[in-house]
Each structure stands twice: as structure tokens, then as C-alpha cells.
A = this chain, B = another copy of it.
């Protein structure tokens, strides 16, 4: 209640926001990322599409909100991108691990991963998360051929997530972050900018 008035929103707004988010979740789950529109989400929640924009911004932002991402990877990775492709493999991995190795964050990120991995057909990941979040960040770091390099980088990072966090395979889960950066960072760099056949 206090949050409602302190934010200066009209009475009932927090409920409307939750209803829009519920409608967005249902739509992303049923229709995938491409099949979801701001207009249809608004209609399902009984509000004007402009209000959906007002609360959540773009469809990409709405998608991240619906996934309940505890951080916006685009913001977290902005400093990595800003420093350019040299050494980006190690910086990318160091930043990634600093977020994922935080226990509170890890619990929340695992919930997101489980929901996208169990999504039938993987549309949330392949139409949503990778093109919306991963693609635009990595596109700024690859030397060329993003269609080749981005899936390769993503495959190694996804494999790390599964081994270190989802199943927590002991030798991988207990590997110090800096050892992992030193061992896998060069591989990511190779995929980003190396000489690929």
C-alpha cells in the first residue's frame, strides 16, 4: 500500500501491472517470443497497449520482466562491450561468473534457466533470450560472421551454466572463478575473434 502511494501511481495500478505481467507470461509461454505482441498482451489484460509500454517499455523489456530476470544482462555486460573485442572473452566470462556465483542471484537465475530449458521447443531461448539479450551484446564483440560466432560462444556458456550451476558437477562447480576465466576465456575469445574455418 505504501509503495503504491509513494510511487504516485493511481490506485489499482500495481494490480494492473501484475495482470499485464501475467498476461505476458501466458502469451510468451503459449505463443513463444515472436507470437507475442504488446497489443495482444494489453488486450488479454484488458488495458491499452500504451499502458503496457508505460509499465514495461519495449517487447524485449517485457520479455525480460516476464522471465523474472534478476538482472538485465544488457546492462551488466555493457562495460564488457565498451572495452572492445580485445580480451573480451575473459572479461565476458569474469563478469558472467561474478553474477552467477552470487548465491542469491544464482537461485533466481536457475529458475529462469529451468523455465527456458523446459520450454517446449525452446522458443523462449531461441526466439527470445538469445536474439534479444545475447545476440545484441555479442554482435558488438565478434570480428565478423555473427551467425557462426554467436552460437559458438553461446554453446560454451550454456554448457558452463549446465555443468556448474544446473547440475553442479563437483569439479566444475568448485573450480575457482579465476581458473575458469583462464581456461575458458581464451576459448570464448577464439570464438569471438579467432581465425575460424
Contact = CB atoms under 8 A, between A and B. Distances in A.
Given A156-B159, A172-B155, A166 B197 contact: no
Interface residues of A, number: 40
A182 B197 contact: yes
A156 B150 CA distance: 14
A163 B150 CA distance: 11
Contact of A156 (B148, B156, B166): B156
Contact of A117 (B152, B166, B186): B166
A contact patch SS: helix
A125 interface: yes
Copies in the complex: 2
Interface in A9-45: none
Nearest to A157: B159
Contact of A122 (B158, B159, B166): B166
A12 to B, nearest CB: 39
A125 B167 contact: yes
A3 interface: no
